[in-house]
Amino acid sequence: MAKAGKQAALKRKPQVKRPVKRKALDPVTLEVIRNALPAVANEMAADLQRTSYNMMIYEVRDFCTALIDPDGKLVSQNVGGVSHFVADLGVIITDGMQRYGRKGFKPGDVVITNHQAVAGQHLNNVVIYAPYFYKGELLMFMMVRAHWIDIGGMSTGFGAGPTVADPWLEGLQLDQLKIYEGGQLNDTLYRVLKDNIRFPESSLGDMKSQMAACRLAAKRMDEMFDKYGRDTILSAIETIFDETELKCRNVVSQLPDGVYEAESAIDDDGVLKGEPVPIRAKVTIKKGEMTIDLSGCSAERKSGVNARTLAGARVAYKALTGPNDPVNEGSFRALNVVIPEGNVMMARYPAPMSSWSIMIPMVVDTIVKALAKPMRDRVPAGHHGLLGGAVVFFGVHPKTKRRFVVQSIEGGGWGGRPYEDGESATVSVCQGDVRNGSIEGIELKCPVLVEGRALRTDSAGAGKHRGGLGIDMQVKNLVEGRWNFEQTRRTVCPPWGLWGGGDGEPSAYLLRLPGENEFKMMVGAHIPVPLHASAIVRTGGGGGWGDPHERDPELVRADVMEELVSREAAREKYGVVLRDDLSVDEDATRLQRATRSVMREAAAVDTKARR
């Protein structure tokens, strides 16, 4: 890696951590620095997208860029970066400092790591970070975590899936290794990477893009430190942390003190079929502090649904306290997280973690659900709660004879909100600005035909404010290859409604082979298919908020005309009767709603009596 800015001229000197003298900052300078730090991370992100090789980075945006201080504190992260990466950046720096020590880093170093013992994720999420020195002092690290399309083993695409038994089967494990040391490439490590990755041009090209983003950040930090000075910048960072913490405390302090609980479950872990994996959240609010206790969740499993992360708690807390503000270490100072070792969310290496992220959106949803009562005017119904529908097909291109992989993440429906309908076809709460792959880009680069991408009629939960809709993404492969269909796990506990709202429809994968008339449900990884097979990646809808009979009949009529809701569902779920010309029959609607309300009350009484 070429050395950036003034770092190139520095020789290695003993590193001593100098204390920060808090300076009184004028408001203008503080605001400039407050906005400049996220701007550096945002520019890193733009540079990464512009130069990367992998559609998962330049199109889907499955990455984050950040500045971290030597104590592992998050200084800034790019706006829209993958949300569930935010919890597991600082621990990497803390581990790296323990490994190398403050004196073990020098200008020109670049570290590569993806090891699950520190930040338990699938191995495709590769971190590149580099130290930043100013006048010989280590002040910061520039970091990029990005999704590589392959890291060896069974990792091709979005990862190896839940049935992979251990990390060694999943792919290469890189534990805080210096790919560059003092500006010199570690050629042996580079060749090991190249020889064990199916798409070396893509993955190693992305690695170089990650390095370029770090070099750009070093240049921008040189400019900032030259202009404002060390003490001013570091004082501003601490002040920003303090003010962010205070904002979060103020939000939480408006909620009544108490203990709030909720639970949910995924159907199974992909290995033990039919055995639900429970998720339990207990949220304690006391004088502006929040404690999120996930100790009631399942113990770690033998499948890859394990993770080692605080992401579920941190994403939920950030969404509740300051969703629109830039994230930094102060965002989480007033949050206490309880997750014991051996929990499915704090699994112990070498528990398999290849599908680490599949539960996290549902964990976030469950935490938010626990606060539905004290935050009734803000908490939505459940969203599709998985990381979207993963479109993964790979094979060999018939013209170039080179391997290819189709990748996209298809969004689903979000829950209805206290004041409006949920969003449709949108990625999960854990994915920031992640987008689906464009049809044009997919078809241009890979031998497949996208036969359809459309909203799923009736997939949204009914409600006064209905949920958002999921989608069907239908793809035909024009060559022989293999499909990855990750297990869908929301049928037993679908996206829930709130305050009388209905549940959303769960997701699924379907496959139709040549000569077959019907699509069949399909689960598994690396499923071989012949020429002209068709697959449907189906995403879930969001739950509804409030009694569906309180929804304006004209809104129901508009949904029917847009084919978001069928006429049958309008009648059965919303009690809205439409004439043949799709106008509202007001008298029949009043009768239908009254009849269904009586039936519902009778059913509730019967259920209570049986209990």
Separation of first and last alpha carbons in the chain: 68
Q: What is the pLDDT of residue 430?
A: 87
| Average pLDDT for 266-279 | 90
Contact 151, 198 (CB under 8 A): no
- Closest-CA residue to 101 (of 138, 64, 153, 146): 138
Look up the pTM and report it: 0.90
What is d(CA 124, CA 353) in angstroms, rounded to the nearest whole number? 11
551, amino acid identity: R
Residue 377 vs residues 249, 282, 309, 363, 371: alpha-carbon distances, Å: 19, 20, 30, 21, 11
Q: What's the mean pLDDT when you consider all of the chain?
A: 91
Report the number of secondary-structure helices (H) and strands (E) in the chain: 13, 20
- Per residue in 90-107, pLDDT tens? 999 999 999 999 999 999
Residue 234, sorted as left (phi over 0), alpha (psi -120 to 50) or beta, turns out to be alpha
The yes-or-no verdict on residue 14 having pLDDT over 60 is: no
With residues binned 3-state (H G I as helix, E B as strand, rest as coil), the percentages for the chain, rounded to 5, are 30, 20, 45
* Phi, psi dihedral angles at 49 (to 5 degrees): -60, -40
Output the CA torsion sign for 91, 206, 66, 79: negative
Q: What is the pLDDT of residue 233?
A: 96
What is d(CA 464, CA 419) in angstroms, rounded to the nearest whole number? 9
What is d(CA 32, CA 25) in angstroms, rounded to the nearest whole number? 11
| Average pLDDT for 50-75 | 92
Confidence grade of residue 540 (pLDDT, cut at 50, 70, 90): very high
* Residues 6 or more apart in contact with residue 153 via CB below 8 angstroms: 123, 160, 164, 168, 169, 170, 171, 172
The yes-or-no verdict on residue 15 having pLDDT over 50 is: no
* Residues 6 or more apart in contact with residue 26 via CB below 8 angstroms: none
DSSP letters for 138-194: EEEEEEEEEE-S--STT-TTT-S-TT--SHHHH-----SEEEEETTEE-HHHHHHHH
Q: What is the pLDDT of residue 12?
A: 35
Residue 527 vs residues 348, 394, 483: alpha-carbon distances, Å: 30, 10, 5
- Per residue in 274-297, pLDDT tens? 899 999 999 999 999 999 999 999
Both tokens of 394, joined, read: 């790979």
Q: What is the pLDDT of residue 490?
A: 86
Per-domain residue ranges for the chain? 5-246, 380-545, 549-611
Q: What is the pLDDT of residue 425?
A: 95
What is d(CA 547, CA 599) in angstroms, rounded to the nearest whole number? 14
- Per residue in 438-478, pLDDT tens? 899 899 989 999 999 999 999 999 999 999 999 999 999 99
What is d(CA 572, CA 569) in angstroms, rounded to the nearest whole number? 5
Both tokens of 537, joined, read: 């990646």
What is d(CA 164, CA 556) in angstroms, rounded to the nearest whole number? 45
Q: What is the pLDDT of residue 4?
A: 36
Contact 72, 166 (CB under 8 A): no
The yes-or-no verdict on residue 584 having pLDDT over 80 is: yes
Task: Give the bridge partners for 426, in sequence order.
Answer: 412
What is d(CA 430, CA 593) in angstroms, rounded to the nearest whole number? 38
Q: How many residues does the chain have?
A: 611
| Average pLDDT for 319-340 | 94
Confidence grade of residue 388 (pLDDT, cut at 50, 70, 90): confident
* Residues 6 or more apart in contact with residue 187 via CB below 8 angstroms: none
Helix, strand, or coil (residue 77): strand
What is d(CA 12, CA 6) in angstroms, rounded to the nearest whole number? 13
Output the CA torsion sign for 305, 308, 309, 312: positive
